Amino acid sequence: MAKVELLAPAGDMASLAAAVASGADAVYFGLEGLSARRSFAEFTLDEAGAARRFAHSRSVKVYPALNSLVKGRELGRVMEALDFLAALPVDGLIVQDLGVYHLARRHFPGLPLHSSTLFAAHNSAGVAALKKMGFTRVVLAREMSLEEVGAAARIEGVDLEVFVHGALCFSISGLCLASSFYGGKSGLRGLCTQPCRRLFRKGAHKGRYLSAADLSLIEHARGLKELGIRALKIEGRMKRPDYVAGVVAAYRSVLDAREDELASRVKDAKELLGSLSGRRLSTGHLMAETSPGVLIPHLSGASGRLVARVAGQKGDRALIKVRQPFRKGDVLRPETGKPKEQRAFRVREITVEKKRVGEARAGDRVNIRPDRGLGPGANLFLVSRTDASRRWEAEARRLIKVQKSAREPKRWRSILDGCPRRREPGEERLYIKVGRVDALREALALPADGVFLCGGLGELRRLTGRVKTIRKAGPRLGVGLPPVIFEESLKGYAVVIGELAQMGIERFLVANVGHLELFEGCAGRLMGDYTLNVLSGAGLCAALELGMDSQVLSLEADLDTLGDALRGGRGAEPVVSIYARPPLLVSRFKPFSGKKAELSGPKGERLVAEAKGGLSLVYEQRPLCLFGHLREIREMGLRSFIIDLSHERAARGELRRLFEGYKRMKPPKSYSIFNLTGGLE
């Protein structure tokens, strides 16, 4: 059996030094402006080169993460990064954007590609599809059970990577729109504001209903190794070096233990990991769909150890009630009740009765001088000890030398050459999505170019009994699948898709790359859904190469991004969602006992959580509607649109009213335009 790889995060050079010294076999880090942790914990290209030299000198592999969704105007910077990394070379590149995938495969075929967890590969079909796409490693979704991981591991010829430690998102990675919807800061572009950690009101009660405990699979690390998992991944590019060192050391100890010392090593590792985390630790979904106690509505969402609370602020000084000791130079993260996570700060000074001291002891009332106002009631969490952090910072300065690259940046032109050109925009096309067989009659009565039934397994089975409907609709009728289909349901979906194809269905909507496996062998046309997260012309080229002649652009796109995606005129036909009520969060967690719950949040969020198909879907009460901006969108040259009612149980006549609103460019009374004019960051 091949040795399992322990993969550690490196948010800076100090964390890199800590990971390598503590026993990591490989490290991953973000690239400046192009990773899923933008503005934090990123390396410049020169720093990436230095990291690679240092790691390789110690037989440690490096995997840069270029795993942000990319706009068309950013493709030149992507090409510069790919060219630099291919020349080093690196041991693997983590990507999630289909456009980045296309550019890497076409221009730098020697770069080993790892699919990010943001591809939402959560079953064996997803792994098989990504293998065929040329990925050498697939990072599995965190939402999989041990049995499901085992099924994925039976796909031969591709390495699998599993997250074993760190933060858990409420939503399945790659399917979260919440941060972007409320302010344009896309989690898929590395700017998540962590809306799932916020304090929500449900009726007369308040709680952090969507806030999850952290993941810790230390007891199952050896079991995952025996399944054939190639790499165990630690989350935490935003963590301090002492945290990274401690977590890596804990897992290294367990992985290297002899059988007779395994139990004691696991016990010691659990104690160490418990001392490093401020959140409760859990096994997430590994041992069950949702482990008991993994959602923690009564606890703070902050990470780190709670050490103090702010009693008041006067000028630039905050009066602190100390619960656990901390020292001058330690790093504290405040939690103020504001929706956005607060930046950590270093304690520069501690005073007791106007006398400077080096340490605040439990029970003390002390003054500190933070770098911003905190306000009474703010909790302070210890995230890093000064002595440990400074040790690793000094070690990094001693060992890792960043050299200015002598390479002249290339001017990348016509980077989409080789991808077929699209036909010139002709007559306008309208597609409609519905979620129930009962809605097909009204949808097919409208002059739409295509109608998709996008329902669960039950609805698709109902369609197999509507022979007359299928025959009458002809090639206008298509079907789509939910973006999340766990392993136990794969066979059922494959069977019903085969039956529908034999009955004459020729259009299929792809909402996850794994669907390419389910639709393989079906004669007909494929359209990529918005959940494939395409923002650029390069992404449209990738969609076409994968067999999709049209592609719904990401719902997050603003006007500038839509315009950029059209430049070059190549790839799949772009389609714009002009009406939808998409789930902002798609989760395997079950935060509420009933089928539906209404939540209100601190930024005016009005959410509805629904239990559906074994998942929790969280919606904003207002739909997305772009009817009022159709003139601007058409002027760009976009001519294909989709009205999506697949997540609504619309009243009779509602679809007709929406169609009239589309024709008149008149939106409903209450709606959102998402990022269209406000901008996508």
Shortest CA distance to 113 belongs to which of 81, 158, 177, 144? Answer: 158
CA dihedral 174, 240, 603, 563 (to 10 degrees): -50
Contact assessment for residue 467 and residue 500, using Cβ atoms and an 8 Å cutoff: no
d(Cα 346, Cα 312) in Å, to the nearest integer?
Answer: 19
For the chain, the average pLDDT equals 92
pLDDT tens for residues 138-167? 999 999 999 999 999 999 999 999 999 999
User: CA torsion, points 636, 637, 639, 644, in degrees to nearest 10?
Assistant: -30
Confidence at 411, pLDDT banded by 50, 70, 90? confident
Q: What is the pLDDT at residue 337? A: 62
Sequence-ordered list of residues with C-beta below 8 angstroms from that of 213, at least 6 positions apart, any chain: 168, 279, 280, 281, 282, 293, 294, 295, 296
Which pLDDT does position 353 carry in this prediction? Answer: 87
In one-letter notation, the amino acid at residue 136 is: T
Query: Which element (helix H / strand E) includes 331?
Result: strand 331-335
Confidence of residue 651 (pLDDT cuts 50, 70, 90): confident
Average pLDDT over residues 337-364: 83
Three-state DSSP state, 269 = helix
Residue pLDDT, tens place only, 121-134? 999 999 999 999 99
Q: Of 38-42, 299-303, 359-363, which range is least confident? A: 299-303
Cα separations in angstroms, 538 against 104, 126, 396: 10, 21, 38
What percent of the residues of the chain are helix, what percent strand, and what percent coil, each to the nearest 5?
A: 30, 25, 45
* Count of residues making up the chain: 681
Residue 39 has pLDDT above 60, yes or no: no
Find out whether 197 and 295 touch, Cβ atoms under 8 Å. no
Residue type at 590?
K
Helices (H), 88-168: 98-107, 124-132, 146-153
Residue 105 pLDDT > 90: yes
Rounded to an integer, the average pLDDT of 493-512 is 97
pLDDT at 340: 53
Three-state SS across 565-601?
Answer: HHCCCECCEEEEEEEECCEEEEECCCCCCCCEEEEEC
pLDDT at 378: 87
Provide the pLDDT for residue 4. Answer: 96
